[in-house]
Structure 1
Amino acid sequence: MLKGRTIRGFLICLAVTAAVVLVYAAGALDSLEWRSIDLRFQARGARPANPDIVVVSIDEHSIDRLGRWPWPRETHAKLIDRLSAAGAKAIAFDVLFTEPDSANPKSDAALAASAGKAGNVVSAFFYRGGMDANLLGKDPLFPLPALAKESFVGFVNFNPDPDGVCRHGHLYSIYGNNVYPSLPVAALAMSRKKTFEELLPELPVTVDKDPLVAHNELFINYQPQTDRTGYEIIPFADVVEGKIPDKTFKDKIVLVGGTAAALFDVKATPYTPIFYGVLIHANIIDNLISGNYLKPGSGAFTILYILVVGLILGAVLPRLGPWQKLVVLVAVAGAATGVSFWMFSAKNRIVPLVAPLLATVGCYGAETFYRLLIEEREKRKIKGSFRQYLSPKIIDVITKDPTKLALGGVERDVSIFFLDIAGFTTMAEALKPTQLVEVMNQCLTEFSRIILRHDGLINKYIGDCIMAFWNAPADQPNHAAQACLAALDCIKALPDLNRRFQEKGLPRIDCRVGINTGTVVVGNMGSLERFDYTVMGDPVNLASRLEGANKQYQTRIMISEATFELAREAIEARDLDLIRVKGKREPRKVFEVLCAKGEMSEELSEGRKRFHTALALYRQKRFDEAIDTFQSVFDYLPNDHVTRVYLERARAFTSHPPPPAWDGVYEFATK
């Protein structure tokens, strides 16, 4: 049995892994992977920037000093003269000089003359139609002919990913019969006194040399720009006014570009949604010089990685218990995350993260779900091993009136009681069959005695669950109160049961109870040969749902409003919630039974009072006040999980308010 289950679990994990591979191959995970790479950037933080790259910024300070933008071309000519005299190796303008200076056409000649005299100027051009997948440029906007003749040219187009973030930089483009470098490549070539063709073999990445860079796209290894880290940025005005010493630019690559807000030259990068375009060029040059560009794994490597993760999980998970599986899930997910972050920070390698994590969680979830189905089947087998208890009152009724054994039933108001042993799944895996039988027998025996002591009829045992009801076949005016008091006594019996289990090395148990009161059909139902005295109707289903709903709040006894109204003189309870169980339209008000009447402590009483005050504020959509009041509940009930549930809901509603028609109802998505 275990071997077959293990094989089926392995096949399930293999199927999940194959599905993840298909999803990855279809590109459906790309945006999530990009976001995970951005997180790796942010986690890594700053690294030293290349000091041989300097940025001259067209900033607000310079515009204030030199006048309204655009400036006369003579101003840029002065900058070239100043930088050339200081010994700059290359001067690259991330500024388009594509149209004549309408105010002073002669200034264009001055700019071209200064560029020619310097001999190391790179002018920018721009593809208005962008570039296609084959790097073919469309509709270029070249510099003025005179300037283009006296300088090297490079394009300044960026190609953001679909989410708008610039993560890649093209090294070259094609237009007509010519190959044009990007501005960073042109600047690097100029600094080495080479043409683009001469520089190409020296680049750390080319299409021919490095298959990690698809279509000659450089995956930029960004350096964040802060007050303490990044590239040296100097105001344009300070340079042309001679305030900056020559050594600042000596043997440096100087990039000239806009940082003033009015110039709108900003892009989104992994670090920030606002990053100056000229700094992106600086990062690309830095990557080209150092070779520290990012190197993504190939698609084949990623698929192999996913398959290895899936195969390992398929071999391991089916053999483990639930807690062990959870440990493996955390370990594998943590290892995948740690490796991806370490390879990114230490090796400049992009190891895929999202797809392996999806495979890990998917295998865990699918195999666990499959295991739960198997456990449910085993629970049904265990249920058949318990004989049904019969209330003495039923025996009396049948003895007096044998006709009640006839098939059929009558409508009657009853209180239906469902008790379930919490943690049964874990216990079933952890114990030997004989130990499990011992625990079940002791629990069901104790709880059954309590139910019978409160004149309940034990209808059936459903594995680890007891179904009972009151007010049939005999009349019981206080049936709702008796059901609630029986539930409280079951809870009171837990410490003694657990003490006995602990003495034998058996696990502790807990239980949950759901009680509902309503009109049902009660009587003998089945065939002539085999029948049960039972109840049928929607109130039965609701009682079962209330038992399961305890998990949401970590409560032990949940009752319906109908039960509360009939039992309120015998119990202390608190308003728990307005819920809509799955498959039902009408919301139900539910209560948590706290104790029998007269047994409430001062702390519990004050805690309940504050909770009800907070709940009223919550239902009035006064969430901030509700949060404060819910917090005060912990002064009296420090471990109250119900309060924590409402705090989470209220905090969520402060960020995302409910719709105007919100009625305070919580809808259960599952049974």
Structure 2
Amino acid sequence: MRRHLILSAIWAVAVAIFALLMSLTPIAERLENQYALGLLYGLRPQVERAPGAAVVAIDRKTLEWLRDDSDTEGKGPLLSCLPPGVKEKLAEVRGPGSIPRSVHGCALAELKRLGFKAAIFDILFMVPGAKDDDEEFARALKSNLATGILVGFERSMVRDGVSEVLVERELEPIDLFRTSAATTGAFLLPRPGGPVYGYWPRVAGFPETKSLPEEALFLIGSPLYAALSTSIASPALRYFWLYGPPGTIETISLRDLLRRDVDPSIPALAPSSIAFIGASDPSSTNYPDSFPTFIRGGSDADLSGVELAATAFLNLLHGDTVRRLPLLETTLLILAFAAAVGFLARFNPTYAILSAIPIGLLYVAFAAWLFARAHLFMPVATPVFILLPAAFVAAIFMRYRLARSLIMRLAPAPVARRRLGLMTEERSKAVSDEATVIFFDLIGSTKIAEKLAPLDFSVLLNSYHDTITKVVEAHGGFINAYSGDGVMAAFTRIDAGADHALRACRSSIRVVREMRRFNAANAGKSIPPLHLRVGINSGTVAEGEIGAANRFNFSVVGDVVNLASRLEQLGKVLFAGENDIILLGHRTRQLAGDNGLKFADCGLQEIRGRDKAEQVHRLLVADA
């Protein structure tokens, strides 16, 4: 018992050290920001909309309205505001960036009329436009509201002869607008490859560039501005406290603003609010300048950049910014949690298995409560996503040695189920069975590997293998072997049934069509198109554990397998330069029948390495 306690304590220390090191890795940080934070938002109850900001949305209906010359009455206020030379350009509007700038000046005048005191443009004005158009907008910037405009950043790779350097360049507004506006600021969002969860209030290398949400505080004369300007000197990420899906913050369509058709409640909130102007459409998906977040709209729309800027401003105004647990407290919490879980998993695996889920649920519930009540972001990924599953698996591993020894043996799914059902480690004998065997080969894989980085090629191969595996298994077959870009699949009578040949043919067609869909979806990208050669043959095979006595290796062998492989290779000879070739032996053709399939007779062919010639057929694949 004492030895057991000592070993459990040592295991607890080891798990705690592992957890601490794991929590410091980029993987753990990504899990926290991309998944744990998403879980906390998913568990958070609905929150009240914070007052103090309104979004003026350049949405689809605004773009359509500006182009439409039939609504002369509704456009009256706008047309009377615009310079004469700009009115004709409205018909050329195609996107948010093509709107004449004097239209934005008219929007400022309308906001002033409603009672707004300040406005922020989440729009880059770094390229000069028509002179009269720019001058009119500059006059509006000076004469209407206190206005802030966006400073952008561009990243580019610069070569110095022997190396490459990532250079970040500031994209300032043109001088006419910069000197006319009350302030400028940046709003830099990370691109994590998933939901956006925060922004950088400062940009490394640009100490004089201020944050646009902070400058909004300056425009409204908030005393918070001075404190923030002196307390933030580093480019540490600031988390959003999201108030809800797109449209949660009071939103005014630019069309309705220019038509003077806004909601009657707007004049009442205008004096205490700042307007954020930018591309936004809460009812549309894939709209320009939209970002995935943890909260999406009913139409699956993402939050727009201007809504995120308004959110960041409201977070500062109301003190709603999400806070991470300090480093010391985070470290102590992870060490204590890991030590307790590790000790329990080693000392009493059964209790660990039974308590893992309740412990995880209680921890997540407490973290979600703190997040909702105090905006405190506790570590969740390392304790719940990593430690508890690891402890659960470790407990099963320690408690069930026989299950582990069976699970560790790689085998096709139907074979594994039969093997586990035997509940014995004795070697099973090979049996004779009727089967159809398929060999898939990726055409031009050597050239593809030459063009792609090794990691990118491995990702492509994994996607290719996943596609084939899912299709084959969905049709009742299993994957017998992977060999680089080659895949061997089998449809046995035992597992697939008497129509194994028909299933094999249909699965081959489906795989080819899936690859064509993949190619179409990635057309124009750096991913090369994928095309196949396929060989199919049917007959009697031996299936079972074939290999050394002390190793498990399930396989399907026989002349049928060899001929299927030769048929795949024959496609290169008979149809050189063609893609997506499926050749099958005569027995497969007989067993498959017509059944909606289309074949072409390739005649009697000599097969390399075999004495007998084979009647070969080509299975034709039409686009789905």
Q: 1:314 to 1:40 in 2, by over 3 A?
A: closer
CA drift at 1:40: 2.3
For 1:547 and 1:101, the matched residues in 2 are separated by: 69
User: What does residue 339 of structure 1 align with?
Assistant: 366
* Alignment equivalent of 1:238, drawn from 231, 244, 256: 256
For 1:185 and 1:342, the matched residues in 2 are separated by: 29
Give the partner amino acid of 2:354. Answer: V
Q: 1:277 to 1:564 in 2, by over 3 A?
A: closer
CA drift at 1:138: 4.1
Give the partner amino acid of 1:238. Answer: D
Give the partner amino acid of 2:208. Answer: V
Give the partner amino acid of 2:146. Answer: N
User: What does residue 114 of structure 1 align with?
Assistant: 140
The 8 Å contact of residues 128 and 134 in structure 2, kept in 1 or not, is answered as yes
User: What does residue 288 of structure 2 align with?
Assistant: 264
- Deviations along 1:514-540, whole A, 9 cap, x unmatched? xxxxxxxxxxxxxxxxxxxxxxxxxxx
**1:91 equivalent in alignment to 2:124:** no
For 1:263 and 1:578, the matched residues in 2 are separated by: 42
The 8 Å contact of residues 17 and 359 in structure 1, kept in 2 or not, is answered as no
- Deviations along 1:551-606, whole A, 9 cap, x unmatched? 745889999677899xxxxxxxxxx998989xxx9999898xxxxxxxxxxxxxxx
Q: 1:223 to 1:320 in 2, by over 3 A?
A: same
User: What does residue 438 of structure 2 align with?
Assistant: none
User: What does residue 250 of structure 1 align with?
Assistant: 271
The 8 Å contact of residues 305 and 356 in structure 1, kept in 2 or not, is answered as no
Q: What is the DSSP-based 3-state SS (H/G/I as helix, E as strand, rest coil) of the residue aligned with 2:26? A: coil
User: What does residue 58 of structure 2 align with?
Assistant: 58
TM alignment of 1:505-516, pairs within 5 A: none
CA drift at 1:615: 8.9
For 1:586 and 1:107, the matched residues in 2 are separated by: 66
Give the partner amino acid of 1:333. Answer: G
CA drift at 1:367: 5.2
Q: 1:55 to 1:580 in 2, by over 3 A?
A: closer
For 2:376 and 2:20, the matched residues in 1 are separated by: 21
Q: 1:7 to 1:620 in 2, by over 3 A?
A: same
The 8 Å contact of residues 309 and 360 in structure 1, kept in 2 or not, is answered as no
TM alignment of 1:20-169, pairs within 5 A: 20-34=19-33, 35-44=35-44, 46-66=46-66, 67=90, 68-69=92-93, 70-102=98-130, 105-129=131-155, 138-169=168-199
For 1:193 and 1:303, the matched residues in 2 are separated by: 36
**1:171 equivalent in alignment to 2:201:** yes
For 1:161 and 1:614, the matched residues in 2 are separated by: 52
User: What does residue 531 of structure 1 align with?
Assistant: none
| Higher Cα radius of gyration | 1
Report how many aligned residue pairs link the two structures: 418
Q: 1:98 to 1:588 in 2, by over 3 A?
A: closer
For 2:373 and 2:14, the matched residues in 1 are separated by: 34
User: What does residue 628 of structure 1 align with?
Assistant: none
For 1:93 and 1:368, the matched residues in 2 are separated by: 57
- Deviations along 1:424-449, whole A, 9 cap, x unmatched? x9xxxxxxxxxxxxxxxxxxxxxxxx
For 1:167 and 1:256, the matched residues in 2 are separated by: 21
CA drift at 1:235: 1.4
Q: 1:187 to 1:580 in 2, by over 3 A?
A: closer
The 8 Å contact of residues 580 and 588 in structure 1, kept in 2 or not, is answered as no
The 8 Å contact of residues 491 and 504 in structure 2, kept in 1 or not, is answered as no
CA drift at 1:278: 0.6
For 2:429 and 2:204, the matched residues in 1 are separated by: 75
The 8 Å contact of residues 137 and 174 in structure 1, kept in 2 or not, is answered as no
TM alignment of 1:161-560, pairs within 5 A: 161-173=191-203, 179-192=208-221, 199-201=225-227, 206-207=231-232, 215-226=235-246, 230-244=248-262, 245=264, 246-247=267-268, 249-259=270-280, 264-272=288-296, 274-320=302-348, 322=350, 324-357=351-384, 358-366=386-394, 368-370=396-398, 552-553=420-421
Q: 1:559 to 1:80 in 2, by over 3 A?
A: same
Q: 1:22 to 1:148 in 2, by over 3 A?
A: same
CA drift at 1:121: 1.0
Q: 1:549 to 1:588 in 2, by over 3 A?
A: farther
User: What does residue 614 of structure 2 align with?
Assistant: none
For 1:618 and 1:8, the matched residues in 2 are separated by: 57
- Deviations along 1:187-231, whole A, 9 cap, x unmatched? 12212267xxx713168x9448xxxxx7442111123325xx611
For 1:150 and 1:588, the matched residues in 2 are separated by: 74
The 8 Å contact of residues 16 and 336 in structure 2, kept in 1 or not, is answered as no
Q: 1:372 to 1:150 in 2, by over 3 A?
A: same
The 8 Å contact of residues 62 and 254 in structure 2, kept in 1 or not, is answered as yes
- Deviations along 1:287-308, whole A, 9 cap, x unmatched? 1112121111233333322210
Q: What is the DSSP-based 3-state SS (H/G/I as helix, E as strand, rest coil) of the residue aligned with 1:57? A: strand
Q: What is the DSSP-based 3-state SS (H/G/I as helix, E as strand, rest coil) of the residue aligned with 1:139? A: strand
Q: What is the DSSP-based 3-state SS (H/G/I as helix, E as strand, rest coil) of the residue aligned with 2:13? A: helix
The 8 Å contact of residues 367 and 378 in structure 2, kept in 1 or not, is answered as yes
CA drift at 1:334: 2.2
Q: What is the DSSP-based 3-state SS (H/G/I as helix, E as strand, rest coil) of the residue aligned with 1:29? A: helix
- Deviations along 1:14-60, whole A, 9 cap, x unmatched? 21331232222232322222222123223336422223311111112
For 1:589 and 1:558, the matched residues in 2 are separated by: 23
Alignment RMSD: 4.6
The 8 Å contact of residues 186 and 212 in structure 2, kept in 1 or not, is answered as yes
The 8 Å contact of residues 578 and 587 in structure 1, kept in 2 or not, is answered as yes
Q: What is the DSSP-based 3-state SS (H/G/I as helix, E as strand, rest coil) of the residue aligned with 1:331? A: helix
The 8 Å contact of residues 13 and 367 in structure 1, kept in 2 or not, is answered as no
TM alignment of 1:596-635, pairs within 5 A: 620=504
For 1:91 and 1:167, the matched residues in 2 are separated by: 24
